[in-house]
Structure 1
Amino acid sequence: MISDSEKQLRIIGTQINYYFICKTKLWLFSHHIQMEQESDLVSLGKLLHSKSYKDEKEYTIDNLISIDFIKKRDYLELHEVKKSNKMKKSHEYQLLYYTYYLKNKKGIKNIKGILNYPKIRKKATINLDKSKEKDLMDIIEDIGNIINNETPKPQKIKICRKCAYFEFCWV
């Protein structure tokens, strides 16, 4: 039998990211309706990562979290590469989830997260604290509720026109 904490940790980083962007996108992605493969913006992001950090290796852990690259110091430094900081909260919580997952599933305690925005030459350090860990547990539970219910009604927001799911929601 799978425990509640095991169920919680079956969420992937992309779902955490989409939770902050669009609940409909989260639901569609979670039900294997994935349209990002054709997205020029996704391709551009991958190209930016490969050009900016060509010597860095991506890590996928348990087929749930995909870390752009890791640096080993006195602590473990997780790096996530994004092309813009316009959706910073979604980026932060995606990286916080990676930290949360490694702490709770793998027993790794000394971790820092770094958001890299090479296009604008900025970095942000993200640390998991008790408050954010509690927020993440609530977010994970809410994601489960969203996934297990009917498709959320799309909400027209600024980023819809650039979204890979635009035609699905609005045409």
Structure 2
Amino acid sequence: MQITGTHIAYLHTCHRKLWLFANGIQMEHTSEIVAEGKLIADSTYLDRARKYTELAVDGVKIDFYDAKNKVVHEVKKSDKVEHAHIAQVKYYLYVLVKNGIENPSAIIEYPKLKQRKFIEWSNDDIIEAEEWVERTKAIIHSENCPALIRKGICKSCSYSDLCYITEE
């Protein structure tokens, strides 16, 4: 199985969500919050598709890549799980480096907040990214779904109904 940026983001958000997603239970298509995030990404930077290219490499799909400047642009709705967003784009940078792109960087954009977060690549990130891949694979290949851990972000998760189905 190819590890994607979504897997890495879910590793840093919720192991249960990661396991469910990787094992074919995908709830994003039913989520209004996910739909709102896609709408923000599609409607905020209208010229982005013309200026940048979509890049798919080693199972990773980067929607907006500035090949000239070697910059990944990632649009997010909110910064609630910013640590997961940073891990996701660092994983993208890791994949780019593995494929011969030297010194890539990334910009995480939060248009609703009018904020940007700049992420630089460091060769020290290689070890961390490889550890994420191993941890992700271990969770994905586990026979059992990880236990439910209640977090503040659960209410806005596309898997919330599934995780809390037995509760009133």
- When normalised by structure 2's length, the TM-score is 0.90
Aligned residue among 106, 131, 137 for 2:124: 131
Aligned equivalent of 2:156: 162
Q: State whether structure 2 residue 69 is matched by structure 1 residue 69.
A: no
Distance 1:113 1:39, change over 3 A: same
Aligned equivalent of 1:3: none
Q: State whether structure 2 residue 10 is matched by structure 1 residue 18.
A: yes
Query: How far has the Cα of 1:99 moved from its partner?
Result: 0.7
Counting matched residue pairs gives 161
Alpha-carbon displacement from aligned partner over 1:129-152 (angstroms, at most 9, x marks no partner): 133221111111001110111210
C-alpha contact 1:68 1:81 (8 A) present in aligned 2: no
Aligned residue among 111, 116, 119 for 2:109: 116
Query: How far has the Cα of 1:72 moved from its partner?
Result: 3.7
C-alpha contact 2:55 2:64 (8 A) present in aligned 1: no
SS of the residue 2:33 aligns to? helix
Partner Cα distance (1:92, 1:145) in 2: 21
SS of the residue 1:130 aligns to? coil
Query: How far has the Cα of 1:62 moved from its partner?
Result: 3.6
Aligned equivalent of 1:59: 54
SS of the residue 1:68 aligns to? strand
* Unmatched tracts of structure 1, length 5 or more: 1-6
C-alpha contact 2:19 2:145 (8 A) present in aligned 1: yes
Partner Cα distance (2:118, 2:147) in 1: 34
Task: Extract structure 1 runs of 4+ deviating beyond 4 A.
Answer: none
Q: State whether structure 2 residue 79 is matched by structure 1 residue 85.
A: yes
Code of the residue aligned with 1:143 in structure 2: it is T
* Unmatched tracts of structure 2, length 5 or more: none
Distance 1:110 1:130, change over 3 A: closer
Query: How far has the Cα of 1:63 moved from its partner?
Result: 6.8
Partner Cα distance (2:58, 2:31) in 1: 22
Higher mean alpha-carbon deviation, 63-72 vs 145-154, is at 63-72
Code of the residue aligned with 2:131 in structure 1: it is D
Alpha-carbon displacement from aligned partner over 1:64-121 (angstroms, at most 9, x marks no partner): 2222312244x311100001111111001100111100110x2111311111111111
Query: How far has the Cα of 1:161 moved from its partner?
Result: 1.4
Q: Percent identity over the alignment?
A: 34
